Amino acid sequence: MAIFVGKIGKGITCSISDCSEIAIRSISNEKLDSARLKISGARRSYLCKRHYKEFKKKRRETRRIDKWRWSV
């Protein structure tokens, strides 16, 4: 499954709570939600490099767990 990410402007900071790194990607909250990352408010969120990595990792984990659950 392709994850849609948009390029964003400079100076936007990460939307994850307690993170103030410069964001490199914008992601819809729907997708962030499925990765179980805490975000604030808006429909679109912004992730820094570190949290974008974490997001991708969590997406994989979540999908793996779902697969297990449904294959039992």
Which residues of this protein are in contact with Zn ion, per CB under 5 A? Answer: 14, 16, 19, 21, 48, 51
Contact 37, 17 (CB under 8 A): no
Task: Tell me how far, at minimum, the Cβ of 51 lies from Zn ion, in Å.
Answer: 4
Nearest to 23 by CA among 3, 42, 9, 40: 9
Pick the closer one to Zn ion by CB: 6 or 67. 6
Pick the closer one to Zn ion by CB: 14 or 35. 14
Task: Tell me how far, at minimum, the Cβ of 59 lies from Zn ion, in Å.
Answer: 16
Pick the closer one to Zn ion by CB: 21 or 58. 21
Query: What letter represents residue 8's amino acid?
Result: I
CA–CA distances in Å: residue 9 to residues 28, 33, 46: 16, 23, 11
Task: Tell me how far, at minimum, the Cβ of 38 lies from Zn ion, in Å.
Answer: 11
